[in-house]
Amino acid sequence: MDIENYIQTCKEAATIGGQILKEHFKHIQKKDIEEKGRKDFVTYVDKKSEERIRNFILSIYPDHAFLGEEDGVIGNRESDFLWIVDPLDGTKNYINGFDIFAVSVALQYKNDIIAGSIYIPMLDKLYWAGKGQGAYLNGTKIKVSNKEKELAIVATGFPFRRIEEIDKYLKAFRETMIRFSAVRRPGAAAVDLAYTAEGVFDGFFEMKLSIWDIAAGFILVKEAGGIFTNFEGKEILDGNVIAGGEKIYKELKDIIQQTLV
């Protein structure tokens, strides 16, 4: 299996999408924003980024399948290879001129994520990882942190699409605030996971995410020496995420087991 070329394609695809985001940043007008669901928005930039990424990937691997947040599955649905893409993670941030957003590109072979890249364009931070290859930021190898909980910063995301879950979530949030040094909420799960892989954040949890939000982050955290599971402790991408180095992961799992499971 040609992991090196798959990694390179992830990196180039994420960069292509990121260039689109840079070009249009702070040029979004109200008329450009569509509401595709409750508190869930999309712009022409999301769509243009996805189209450019899809065209690039399928020009190299025409026999593969492609899953994008905006247009669903395109390509060879019978393929064992599925490219999973979020062309703009953090659309609300983007719309409001908050420059924390990212492009996420991952490759799944059968049920295994084997390569991924996350690009934070306004910071020019390009993360990538491949199965058995380690995790990198702009060419430098990265690893998860190993801090004690009293010094740890944990990232999370609010369940804005699942307001009915807010009371349970707030119990977890409260316990997280008590147990760790600080809690951060940048508003883009791909960024949270990239920072967790880098050791900027010591852990991360969030609920009800989509696979395109977390596929690249999954392999980044794993290849950076971290743990990534769902709330039951299983290494599957069902949208409920606990991630981090071993110490903080165990603390977060304990909180989640008490409050959200």
19, 90 contact by CB (below 8 A): no
Angle value at C-alpha 166, between 165 and 170, nearest 5 degrees = 125
Alpha helices, DSSP H, located in 127-188: 166-179
Q: Is 213 annotated as a binding residue?
A: yes
Q: Is 232 annotated as a binding residue?
A: no
6 to 47, 58, 71, 131: CA distances (angstroms): 23, 12, 22, 10
Can you tell me the distance from the alpha carbon of 255 to that of 152, in angstroms, rounded to the nearest whole number? 15
Grouping H, G, I as helix, E, B as strand and the rest as coil, residue 80 is: coil
Q: Is 69 annotated as a binding residue?
A: yes
Q: Is 67 annotated as a binding residue?
A: no
Give the containing element (helix H, strand E) for 106: strand 102-109
Q: How far is CA 147 from the centre of its chain?
A: 22
Binding residues: 69, 86, 88-89, 213
Binding residues for Mg(2+): 69, 86, 88-89, 213
